[in-house]
Every structure is written in C-alpha cells, then in structure tokens.
C-alpha cells in the first residue's frame, strides 16, 4: 500500500480567519519563538520539539503525566496558552490548546479548548493527504477543531461538531453526510469464517470497526482490529468470509503474524527468508494472479499462485534501510525518527538536517541518482509525511518540497534574510511549500489562497520575477 503523500491545503478564507496557522504553517517570519520552558520541561524531548515547531508563541500552563499509559496510548497531557501579547490580541489562533502525547512524545490528540475555534492550519500537515483533500472537497470553509489518532486511523472533528473517521491511509470510515457509517463492532456481525480467522491469528485482538464497501464493483468487508494503541490491523474479506488482505503498519512495528504467512505457498516463505530475512512483513494481499507482499521500507514482492516470484518493486534502493540490518522506517519505537537510524547511507550532514528540521519524521525512501541540473550525484529523500528533500553528494540541501504542504519555519529560515523579508512583504500570511537552490539563486513556491506561486531570487537574494 504505497502511501499517498501528505498535503496541507485548506487555505480558505474562513480557515484563515478562524484557524490560521501558527508559524510553522504560515511561515510568518515575524512570529515569536515558542516557549518550552517551565511546565513544558516535564514533557519528553520529542514532545517539546513538537510544541516548539508547531506552537510558537505558546507556553505550557499545565503538564499532566499519567501513572500508566491509557488504553488510547496517552501518557502526557499538556495545556498550551498564548504568551505573546500580539498573538493574544488576535483571533487568528485559539488561545488554549490541549495536546496528548504517547510514551515516545508523539502527538496523539490535539484539540482547541475554545468552543468553535479551529486548530491552526499547519496541524493539517500531520494528516494523510486524502483526509485533508476530503475535508477541503466536502467541508470547504469549515475549520478543524480536533484531530485524534486512533488505532485504526484518525478522527477529525470540525468546528460545527461534525465528526469524521478515517483509516490510516485516509479512507473514509464514517461520514453521515455521505451516508458512510461503519457498522458497530459486534461479533455477531462477522460470519463464522471471519470469526475463526480473527480468533486463530489475532487471539488477543478486539474488533474496532467493520465496514462493507465495493472495490472495482466487488463487495468486500473490512474489519479493523486492535490489541492496543500500538497494535492494530486492517483485515479484508470477501462476502463469503475468505481472507483477502492483512495489513499492519508501514514501519514494521506490528508485522503480519507468522501464522498468516504460513497460509502462503512455501515459495513465498523461501524467497522472504533468502532475500529479506530480517525485514518485517507489513502487508499480505491475495490477488487474482497470486500474492502481493509488502515489507518495511516500501518493498513490494509479487508472486504467482504457486509462490513463484514474479517481480520486485523495491523503492528502498541500495541506500534504503529495507535491505540493511536495521530495516523499516522508524522501526525502533523507543526512538522513532529522532536520529534517523533508517536513513541508510546518507551523509551525516544530511542526517543532521533531517533530525533538526523534521525531528518527528520517518524516512520512506532514499535514492542516489544523477543530478538533473549539473554533473554529479545527489540523494533524493522521501519522508512518510510527503516531504521530498534533495541533498548533494556531501549532504548539502538542494531542495525541500512539502508538495503543497507548509514547510517548517526552521526550513524557511534557511533562505537569506532579504528573501524572507521580501516574501513577507509580498505575501503576508501565505505559506511556503517549497524552496530550492538553483544555478542562479533561489526558487520559492508560495501557497496563496490555495494556488501555487513561484518566486525567483538571484544568489544575493534580490527579487527577479514571479510565475503564477
């Protein structure tokens, strides 16, 4: 299941007025630095970095640490309040925000504590692209009040109290407006074959959601199961209860059980043990022609019905951790993404760039290729949040592209000061989605009311032209 890239759109006028981004999203160069002292010091490092990155001008007024992790994965709860007088006087940002973090300091729930107030726009960049696009298409102009990670995906609550549920890939599970509502998880809704499959291969798991839908005109039943916040699967069956797909998480933290792999032809097991002995299997799918197996690191293997290998789609390339002794994107959940142990053979300078500017990120793919604009080699790095970053052979950044997703302020700050000042003057309140070093200077892509505008500067930061 190749992930669709993340997109932070929703740059509507209403959203700009009631839920406009904090500095990471709007990239407003004049905005204040975040305050992470005092109460915020009680949060783990990754949570503090998250607050500093996404909530500039806020300080933690309260931090609560649970004695034990909740069933939904919450260990820390932080209340943020505005500290900057200028921000406090505006209505652009909600004045109080609650954030729940898991044991690793990753966000689990983000909620505005002001009724009717929308979260800042840059928070949308934390969601899969299909979710953001779905909300923009069906609920344009309505801000997002709360986002929450679920074992099976995400819950999005709008400022009008409308709740939407999505799976991890951004597929809609529940939207009453569209008549899409998942069935409540009752065991008697599952036929005997499905119940037997779940009991046999996932004995400690509970059914979280059930949804029937059509795939290419064929009705299928999707069953979302969970054991804990950290352990969940999507199971797909035909309407006779025969299994079609078992999908865990992309990082291999919850690999497909060995008992499921034992259902496959012996040739599949032989190929996996021979070529990928230490790489977790993240998904198994039955197809008309045979089987599709996905491994951590975005490696896809195709087999015929007899288990003979037919092809490999290995986006991991030689530099990807999928073929190393440290497989999987962020496969070490005790330190996910901070030091980018999964960045393959990237130069240390590039790894330091990722750790500094994307401390909560995961590497999806690293590819070494020829530079298109001049002689020499370069590294192209894809993050699972949709960002693409190009580095020179020695690790210097060339391009950072959020694919219409606002760039972190720390990345925008890499531009010369006169470029930032000019952008602020021309496009105050807009967001920067891409920056690139060119032969003659810099190219910056700006999101202005949902449209891309390309702005060019020379090597000294002097304005050259605008292409829209």
pLDDT above 60 (res 330):
no
| 335-467 CATH fold | Inhibitor of vertebrate lysozyme, Ivy (3.40.1420)
Top pLDDT among 454 and 448 is at: 454
Contact 156, 59 (CB under 8 A): no
pLDDT above 90 (res 99):
yes
pLDDT in tens, 32-82: 333 334 455 578 888 888 888 788 778 888 889 988 888 788 889 999 887
* Residue 87: count of CB within 10 angstroms of its CB: 18
pLDDT over 70 percentage in the chain: 77
Q: Which residue has the tokens 């499921």?
A: 260
Which residues are CB-neighbours of 201 under 8 A, at least 6 positions away?
A: 246, 257, 259, 260
181-185, 214-218, 225-229, 417-421: range with highest mean pLDDT: 417-421
HEC string for the chain: CCCCCCCCCCCCHHHHHHCCCCHHHHCCCCCCCCCCCHHHHHCCHHHHHHHHHHCCCEEEEEEEECCCCCCCCCCEEEEEEECCHHHHCCCCCCCEEEEEECCCCCEEEEEECCCCCCCCHHHHHHCCHHHHHHHHHHCCCCCEEEEEECCCEEEEEECCCCEEEEECCCCEEEEHHHCECCECCCHHHCCHHHHHHHHHHCCCCEEEEEEEEEECCEEEEEEEEEEECCEEEEEEEECCCCEEEEECCCCCCCCCCHHHHCCCCHHHHHHHHHHCCCCCEEEEEEECCEEEEEECCCEEEEEECCCCEEEEEECCCCCCHHHCCCCCCCCCCCCCCCCCCCCCCCCHHHHHHHHHHCCCCCEEEEEEEECCCCCCEEEEEEECCCCEEEEECCCCEEEEECCCCCCCHHHHCCCCHHHHHHHHHHCCCCEEEEEEECCCEEEEEEEECCEEEEEEEECCCCEEEEEC
CATH class for the domain made up of 13-168: alpha beta
pLDDT above 70 (res 30):
no
| Residue in 334, 243, 277, 266 with CA at minimum distance from that of residue 46 | 334
Mean pLDDT of the chain: 78
* Bridge partners of residue 172, in order along the sequence: 166
Give the side-chain half-sphere CA count within 13 A for 407: 27
Instruction: Give the C-alpha separation, 232 to 69, whole Å.
Output: 17
pLDDT at site 338: 42
Domain with CATH 3.40.1420.30 in the chain: 13-168, 187-314, 335-467
Top pLDDT among 44 and 7 is at: 44
The mean pLDDT of 153-182, rounded to a whole number, is 80
The mean pLDDT of 157-168, rounded to a whole number, is 89
291-300, 375-384, 454-463: range with highest mean pLDDT: 454-463
pLDDT band at 341 (very low <50, low <70, confident <90, very high): low
pLDDT band at 7 (very low <50, low <70, confident <90, very high): very low
pLDDT in tens, 354-403: 988 888 777 778 888 888 877 788 999 988 777 899 999 999 999 999 87
pLDDT at site 87: 47
Instruction: Give the C-alpha separation, 93 to 156, whole Å.
Output: 18
pLDDT band at 235 (very low <50, low <70, confident <90, very high): very high
Q: How far out from the chain centre does Cα 395 lie?
A: 24
pLDDT above 80 (res 342):
no
pLDDT at site 318: 36
Instruction: Give the C-alpha separation, 462 to 417, whole Å.
Output: 11
Residue 284, token pair as written in the block: 């198994």
CATH class for the domain made up of 187-314: alpha beta
pLDDT above 60 (res 1):
no
* Bridge partners of residue 284, in order along the sequence: 246, 293
pLDDT in tens, 256-285: 999 999 999 999 999 999 988 888 999 999
């Amino acid at each position: 299941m190749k992930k669709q890239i993340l997109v932070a759109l929703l740059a509507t006028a209403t959203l700009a007025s009631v839920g406009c981004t904090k500095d990471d999203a709007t990239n407003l160069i004049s905005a204040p630095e975040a305050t992470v002292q005092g109460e915020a010091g009680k949060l783990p490092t990754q949570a503090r970095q998250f607050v500093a990155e996404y909530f500039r001008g806020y300080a933690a007024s309260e931090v609560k640490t649970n004695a034990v992790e909740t069933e939904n994965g919450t260990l820390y709860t932080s209340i943020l309040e505005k500290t900057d007088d200028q921000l406090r006087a505006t209505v652009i940002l909600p004045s109080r925000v609650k954030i729940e973090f898991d044991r690793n300091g990753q966000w689990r729930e983000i909620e505005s504590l002001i009724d009717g107030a929308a979260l800042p726009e840059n928070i949308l960049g934390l969601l899969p692209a299909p979710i953001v696009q779905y909300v923009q298409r069906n609920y344009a102009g309505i801000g997002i009040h709360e986002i929450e990670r679920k074992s099976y995906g995400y819950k999005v609550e709008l400022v009008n109290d409308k709740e939407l549920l999505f799976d991890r890939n951004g597929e809609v599970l529940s939207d009453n407006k569209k008549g899409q509502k998942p069935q409540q998880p009752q065991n008697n809704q599952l036929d005997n074959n499905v119940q037997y499959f779940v009991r046999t291969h996932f004995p400690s798991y509970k059914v979280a959601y059930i949804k029937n839908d059509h795939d290419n005109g064929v009705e299928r039943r999707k069953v979302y199961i969970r054991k804990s916040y950290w352990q969940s699967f999507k199971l797909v069956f035909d309407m006779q209860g025969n299994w079609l797909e078992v999908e865990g998480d992309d990082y291999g933290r919850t690999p497909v059980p060995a008992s499921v792999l034992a259902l496959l032809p012996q040739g599949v097991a032989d190929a996996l043990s021979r070529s990928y002995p230490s790489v977790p299997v993240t998904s198994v799918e039955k197809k008309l022609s045979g089987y599709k197996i996905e491994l951590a690191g975005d490696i896809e293997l195709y087999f015929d019905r007899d288990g003979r290998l037919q092809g490999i789609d290995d986006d991991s390339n030689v530099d990807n951790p999928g073929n190393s002794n440290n497989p999987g994107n962020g496969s070490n959940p005790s330190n996910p993404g901070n030091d980018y142990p999964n960045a393959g053979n990237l130069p240390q300078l590039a790894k330091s760039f990722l750790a500094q500017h994307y401390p909560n990120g995961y590497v999806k793919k690293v590819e070494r290729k020829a530079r298109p604009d001049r002689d020499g080699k370069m590294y192209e790095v894809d993050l699972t949040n949709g960002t693409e970053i190009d580095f020179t052979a020695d690790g210097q950044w060339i391009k950072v592209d959020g694919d219409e997703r606002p760039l972190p302020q720390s990345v925008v700050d890499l531009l010369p000061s006169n470029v930032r000042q000019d952008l602020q003057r021309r496009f105050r309140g807009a967001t920067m989605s891409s920056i690139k070093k060119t032969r003659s200077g810099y190219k910056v892509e700006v999101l202005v009311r949902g449209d891309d505008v390309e702005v060019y500067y020379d090597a000294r930061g002097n304005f050259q032209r605008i292409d829209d």
